Amino acid sequence: MTVYLDNSATTRPSEPVRKKVLQAMESGWFNPSALYKPAMEIQKEMEGVRERLLEAAGAGGQTVLFTSGGTEADNLALLGFAKGKRNPGRVLISSVEHPAVSACREPLEALGFRVAEIPAGASGTVDLEKLERMMDGQVDLIAVMQVNNESGAVEPLERIAQMRSRLCPQARLHVDGVQGFLRVPVCFNRLGLDSYALSAHKIHGLKGTGALILRKGSRIRPLLYGGGQEGNLRSGTENTFGILALGEAVRTWDGAAADRMARLRTRLAERLRALIPETVFNSPAEGCAPHILNAAFPPVRSQTMLLALEGEGVYVSAGSACASRKQKISPVLRAMGVRQEIADCSLRFSLCPDNTEAEIDYAAEKTAALYGTLKKYTRR
């Protein structure tokens, strides 16, 4: 049996998406900037995708910019705003952000902003008390992700938005929704968000496609210059195949998928706990996304277990990064206060709506069998 449990890294394009792309390749390949009818029909279909994204994110009336993925969307939200800001102030970025956001620190500082990290608690979400003390009239921008890509922790966006409105209403609030879109509810308008990034290949669309939902009237500068597509904010011929596929992925998303994945995630956690009592869970017990489970199996290192599972047809990802020959704790787990010896043994299991109970049971059983063997040969 082959069991793919690395859906937070990427998902398999769904059958409706594949059909849509084939159709577009055969008859919808025109440049949407052209003025003849077939091209204008593609342009109209793209506008329909924008409306579909706005509806899914509770962002009616706002703006959608198509990008090459979540990274570009995050960069455009942060650096596009920063490039147009006079008298730069402070930027607050949570300590558990994806590199698409956290790596913007250096260019933000080069533009004159003072960047500070928002500490996280053991649950993997920002420490609200510390964040409250950091908020003042000097804050220009706050960046907090919706769902953490390693732990699955869901940020309390509503409380953060309320604090922003009370303490620094002039600050923009950006949310990286790459791991949350469709899987965890969001209402852009009700929360008062200023920007929200998403990626197609996390929801069974195609790689190389993403979007930034932007509050209408927001003033940002482009990062790319050229033909002036996307309202002069993202030049370059639109990736029509990817955009139409994104629209199809959203249109065909099963509204019951989150509940189904949550049940499978619970089943996996229970099986691992029963079969391997030494299991340590890094994902929060409450307030976790339905599709992510981060677990450690000390003393077996993550890379060892990952490769052993691959040999059994189970595909997962390591919970701690390996930057060189020496393993180093991931920034996310470090920010959560996870001990080095636990972080070094952590794996991320991430589900999709197509996973089955049989696959979950197989993955748990193979993990337990391998653990029983590998722990005997681990150096202490």
Q: What is the pLDDT of residues 31-63, one digit of tens each?
A: 999 899 999 999 999 999 999 999 999 999 999
Q: How far is CA 30 from CA 233, 240, 280, 345, 374, in A?
A: 21, 8, 52, 49, 55
Spatial separation of the C-alpha atoms in residues 58 and 70, rounded to whole Å: 19
Q: Which helix (H) or strand (E) holds 294?
A: strand 292-296
Among 336, 289, 359, CA closest to 8 = 289
- pLDDT for 226: 95
Tokens (6 digits) for 238: 């639109």
The arithmetic mean of pLDDT across residues 251-271, rounded, is 97
DSSP E strands, 68-226: 90-94, 114-118, 139-143, 172-176, 195-199, 210-214
Backbone dihedral region for residue 187 (phi beyond 0: left; psi -120 to 50: alpha; all else: beta): beta
Q: Does residue 322 carry a pLDDT above 90?
A: no
SS3 157: helix
Crossing angle of the two packed helices 302-311 and 357-374, in degrees rounded to 10? 120
- Give residues with Cβ within 8 angstroms of 74, minimum separation 6: 98, 100, 101, 104, 143, 174, 176, 197
Domain residue limits, the chain: 15-251, 255-377
Contact residues for 142 (Cβ-Cβ < 8 A; gap 6+): 91, 92, 93, 118, 135, 160, 164, 168, 171, 172, 173, 174
Does the structural domain 15-251 have CATH classification 3.40.640.10? Answer: yes
The mean pLDDT value for 69-94 works out to 96
Give the pLDDT score at 326.
44
Binning pLDDT at 50, 70 and 90, where does residue 330 land?
confident
pLDDT recorded at residue 327: 52
Q: Does 230 or 325 have the greater pLDDT score?
A: 230
Of 249, 241, 187, 252, whose CA–CA distance to 213 is shortest?
187
| pLDDT score recorded for residue 379 | 61
CA dist 59 and 96 (Å) reads 25
CATH homologous superfamily of 255-377 equals Aspartate Aminotransferase, domain 1 (3.90.1150.10)
> Alpha-carbon distance 31 to 42, whole Å?
8
**Gap between the Cα atoms of 151 and 333, Å rounded:** 8
Q: How many residues does the chain have?
A: 380
Q: Quick one: DSSP state of residue 6?
A: B
Residues of the chain above pLDDT 70, percent: 97
Catalytic positions, written as ranges: 322
Tokens of 223: 């990062």
First to last CA, the chain: 33
Is there a contact between 11 and 202 (Cβ–Cβ < 8 Å)? yes
pLDDT band at 376 (very low <50, low <70, confident <90, very high): confident
What confidence tier does 320 reach under pLDDT thresholds 50, 70, 90?
very low
Q: What is the pLDDT of residue 319?
A: 57
Q: Give the pLDDT confidence score for residue 49 in this predicted structure.
A: 98
Average pLDDT, the chain: 95
